Amino acid sequence: MSEPEPLIVARDLGRTFPMGEEDLRVLRGVSFRIDRGEYVAILGPSGSGKSTLMYLIGCLDTPTEGTLELAGTDVATLTDAELAALRNEVIGFVFQAFNLLPRTTALENVALPLRYAGVSPRERRKRAKEALERVGLGARLDHPPERMSGGERQRVAIARAIVTRPSLLLCDEPTGNLDQRAGREITALFERLNAEDGVTVVLVTHDPLIARRARRNLRVVDGEILYDGPPLDGLPTPAVVEPSASVPPAA
């Protein structure tokens, strides 16, 4: 194994929202480091600042305190254009609400980020197809999300997130809208993207099983990190169902 390489370094990172008379200090100066190849679950009560933290890490929002380094770059030193380029190159996002175009084919949904990256139509098609095959939807290329199950929709969203080959996947409650079975399949998929493709995964979850299977847990309470370490509950790591992603599509 080579030396651990920091991908995310947060130093006293904070976010305060102005709220009329008083300011709301949602994130209270958190510090941590996440290396390339890690799989980290972020836990914590509703309203504790988890999404705010994800938005900062993903450069969708700007900190009001502290610094954030992504892939060795202090993001505060970048121009808007450089920041957008770094974000497109390094990060893929997966949200609880799948945020897909419901009546547009899976293939076109997944190819969209490549259009913004200036990739040729032919190459876009090829790479979108590969990404959909990677998530087990090789047989659903021309289906629109409105005719798919929740689990399939989230797979399309994951394919869209990985089509640019990011080193980091940021996932905010990605199984929050799914039934347990679909949630387990999505979990297994993230684990494979981490183990087989080397993608660093940071996901916010309320699911104790997902948290327990992550190698590292960060617990956020009232805008502070109260715990950073291996899963704590001491129970044996449970298995998840094999993802149907491992089943080749029907000919």
Ligand X SMILES: Nc1ncnc2c1ncn2[C@@H]1O[C@H](COP(=O)(O)OP(=O)(O)O)[C@@H](O)[C@H]1O
Q: At closest approach, how far in Å is the CB of 193 from ligand X? A: 23
Asked if residues 26 and 50 have their Cβ atoms less than 8 Å apart, the reply is no
49 binds, among ligand X, Mg ion, none (CB under 5 to 8 A by kind): ligand X
Nearest approach in angstroms of CB 95 to Mg ion is: 10
Q: Does 51 bind Mg ion (CB under 5 A)?
A: yes
Longest dimension (CA), the chain: 63
Cα 168 → chain centroid:
7
CB nearer to ligand X: give 17 or 116: 17
Q: Does 46 bind ligand X (CB under 6 A)?
A: yes
φ and ψ at residue 248, rounded to 5 degrees: -65, 145
Q: Rule CB under 6 A: say whether 13 interacts with ligand X.
A: no
Minimum CB distance to ligand X, residue 45 (Å): 7
Q: Distance (Å, rounded) from C-alpha 226 to C-alpha 44?
A: 9
Does position 26 bind ligand X by CB under 6 A? yes
Considering the complex, what minimum distance in angstroms separates the CB of residue 204 from ligand X? 7
- Pick from 65, 56, 60, 146: which is nearest to 109 by CA? 146
The 3-class secondary structure across 28-69, one letter per residue, is EEEEEEEECCCEEEEECCCCCCHHHHHHHHCCCCCCCEEEEE
Q: According to the binding rule CB under 6 A, does residue 48 interact with ligand X?
A: yes
49 lines the binding site for ligand X (CB under 6 A)? yes
- Footprint of Mg ion on 60-89 (CB under 5 A): none
Cβ closest to ligand X, residue 192 vs residue 206: 206
How many Cβ atoms sit within 10 Å of the Cβ of residue 138?
Answer: 15
135 is an interface residue for ligand X by CB under 6 A: no
Q: Which is nearer to Mg ion, 47 or 102 (CB)?
A: 47
Applying CB under 5 A, which part among 27-35, 48-56, 90-98, 193-201 lies near Mg ion? 48-56
Residue 198, phi-psi category: left (phi > 0), alpha (psi -120 to 50), beta (remainder): left
User: Residue type for 148, please?
Assistant: M
Counting every residue written for the chain, the total comes to: 251
Q: Choose which of 5, 12, 17, 85 interacts with ligand X (CB under 6 A).
A: 17
Q: Does 214 bind ligand X (CB under 6 A)?
A: no
Contact 41, 214 (CB under 8 A): yes
- Does position 175 interact with Mg ion (CB under 5 A)? The reply is no
Contact residues: Mg ion, CB under 5 A: 50-51
Contact residues: ligand X, CB under 6 A: 17, 24, 26, 44, 46-52
